[in-house]
Amino acid sequence: MLPHQIDTLISARWVVTVDHHNNVLNDHSVAISQGKIVAILPTADAQKAFEAKEHIQLPGHALMPGLINLHTHSAMNLLRGFADDLALMTWLNDHIWPAEKKHVGEQFVYDGTLLAAAESLKGGVTTLNDMYFFPAPTAQAMIDAQIRAAVSVNVIEFPTQYAVDADDYLKKGLEAYNKFGDHPLLQFTMAPHAPYTISDNTFKRMLSLAEELDMQIHCHIHETRAEIEGSLKEHGVRPLERLAGLGLLNPRLIAVHMVHLTEDEMAQLAANGVHIAHNPSSNMKLASGICPVPALHDFGINVGIGTDGAASNNRIDMFTDMRTAALLAKVGTENPEVVPASKALEMATICGAKALGRDHEIGSIEVGKLADITAVDLSDLVCQPCFDPTSQLVYVAGREHVTNVWVNGNRVVANRELTTVDEKELLAKAQSWHDKLKA
């Protein structure tokens, strides 16, 4: 019998599948054709069964699903380190929003998003769930970098360089959706910024549009105590209770941060199938608090991981945030058994896919899924000896160990080099924006 013709065969020391059984396969290969995984089998068998246009052999590597960053503000990579060591509202009101008002436009967003996409790909991330203004240049940058992304129809109830009011935000966001919504690398979300910046009427309109267009809803909620106190003062209820009354608590909602929660609120989230984007590094840096991830898991709530933007993190580094999520949960509960390595890896992959409504397509290495795959070199000195590759990926390896990345079966990082972005040109753009912002 003649071998089957395929596009790519990747042979590795381990394949960490993050499937329903959390299988870790020794000396296996992943066969890819037309952007999808068509087989996973022992390497000796794969070499007989397939004839590949490209056979990549990674004897010291672990293959893992591409990481899914469930919450970020990509264009804010150009504001990395612009204002540090400040409380959230001081950081926003006195520094970030004024800088955005002066500088943010289509070119800023395109360049910043491309910078974030490049950083993400080199760090093993294959999907970004973005929230920012100017979705058209955002979408174009994601396409040019060849990274998978959820692009936002972003709304905030005050004028910016992008739009003047909620109607204008929605109009422009939907124009971008109509232009780019069918691209295979993209999906769109409805993204009301936060309860303290969105009116009841706008929330209702965005919920209706999300249902009509089959979009997820991406929103900052319960990030700080001040946010909750403000809601009690203005609306007489905590933000979640207000959103529940508006019908927002449902499986479309990706609730970002969710640091300050009562048990009753967690039960309500579970009953309504709400997803949570946990941002451990950003929450720590802004001193917002610790999201109660182990308790959320006890309630059966799906929790993914996000980095937040580079202006508040300051790294778009999912390896760091995956490790931090596990360690923060342990120290926060004084229980070393909560969020083990396998769970942290799930949070950074399949849980993010589920929150985006894409777990049937991405988030694990399984036959029939899209070939979004990251290769991590565990033969490096600092990764040896390796008793458990899953544990090594979470607690030891970093983005510096990522050597190859595939999105839709296309190799977008090859031997640590980007194949879709000119790094020298991108660095020059970053320096140019630094000079403008500093001036």
For 217-230, give the DSSP string: EEEEES--HHHHHH
Average confidence (pLDDT) over 382-398 = 98
pLDDT in tens, 332-348: 999 999 999 999 999 99
Encoded tokens for 26:
């020794």
Of 1.20.1440.230, 2.60.40.1180, 2.30.40.10, 3.30.310.10, the CATH number of 4-65+369-408 is 2.30.40.10
Angstrom distances, CA of residue 86 to CA of 43, 93, 223, 281, 417: 52, 11, 15, 14, 35
What are the sequence ranges of the domains in the chain? 4-65+369-408, 67-355
71 annotated as belonging to a binding site for a ligand: yes
Q: What per-residue confidence (pLDDT) applies to 201?
A: 98
Of 203 and 93, more confident:
203
pLDDT in tens, 129-187: 999 999 999 999 999 999 999 999 999 999 998 999 999 999 999 999 999 999 999 99
Q: What per-residue confidence (pLDDT) applies to 253?
A: 98
CA distance 140 to 161: 19
Q: Which of 407, 392, 405, 256 is nearest to 322 (CA)?
A: 392
Residue 159's identity, in one-letter code, is P
Q: What per-residue confidence (pLDDT) applies to 92?
A: 86
CATH class of 67-355: alpha beta
Q: What per-residue confidence (pLDDT) applies to 97?
A: 86
**Residue 217 predicted with pLDDT over 60:** yes
**58 DSSP β-pair partners:** 12
Average confidence (pLDDT) over 193-205 = 98
CA distance 218 to 308: 13
The answer for 204, left when phi > 0, alpha when psi is -120 to 50, beta otherwise, is alpha
pLDDT in tens, 285-335: 999 999 999 999 999 999 999 999 999 999 999 999 999 999 999 999 999
Encoded tokens for 214:
């089959």
Angle at 309 between CA 305 and CA 315, to 5 degrees: 80
Radius of gyration (C-alpha) of the chain in whole angstroms: 21
21 annotated as belonging to a binding site for a ligand: no
346 annotated as belonging to a binding site for a ligand: no
Q: What per-residue confidence (pLDDT) applies to 88?
A: 82
**54 DSSP β-pair partners:** 8
Nearby residues of 351 by Cβ (< 8 Å), 6 or more positions away: 70, 302, 303, 304, 305, 363
CA distance 104 to 112: 10
Can you tell me whether residue 359 is helix, strand or coil? Answer: coil
Residue 54's identity, in one-letter code, is E
pLDDT in tens, 76-135: 999 999 989 988 889 889 998 888 888 899 999 999 999 999 999 999 999 999 999 999
CA distance 318 to 399: 8
100 annotated as belonging to a binding site for a ligand: yes
Q: Which of 291, 262, 260 is nearest to 277 (CA)?
A: 291
Count how many residues are written for the chain: 439
Q: Taking the C-alpha atoms of 109, 112, 116 and 117 in order, what is their torsion angle to the nearest 10 degrees? A: 60
- Average pLDDT of the chain is 97
Q: Which helix (H) or strand (E) holds 395?
A: helix 389-395
pLDDT in tens, 238-252: 999 999 999 999 999
Q: What per-residue confidence (pLDDT) applies to 8?
A: 98
Residue 255 near residue 280 (C-beta atoms within 8 A): no
**Residue 366 predicted with pLDDT over 70:** yes
Residue 255 near residue 219 (C-beta atoms within 8 A): yes
308 annotated as belonging to a binding site for a ligand: yes
200 annotated as belonging to a binding site for a ligand: no
pLDDT in tens, 11-63: 999 999 999 999 999 999 999 999 999 999 999 999 999 999 999 999 999 99
Q: What per-residue confidence (pLDDT) applies to 2?
A: 62
pLDDT in tens, 394-414: 999 999 999 999 999 999 999
Angstrom distances, CA of residue 79 to CA of 6, 68, 93, 165: 43, 22, 15, 24
Q: What per-residue confidence (pLDDT) applies to 383?
A: 97
400 annotated as belonging to a binding site for a ligand: no
CA distance 338 to 247: 32
CA distance 106 to 110: 6
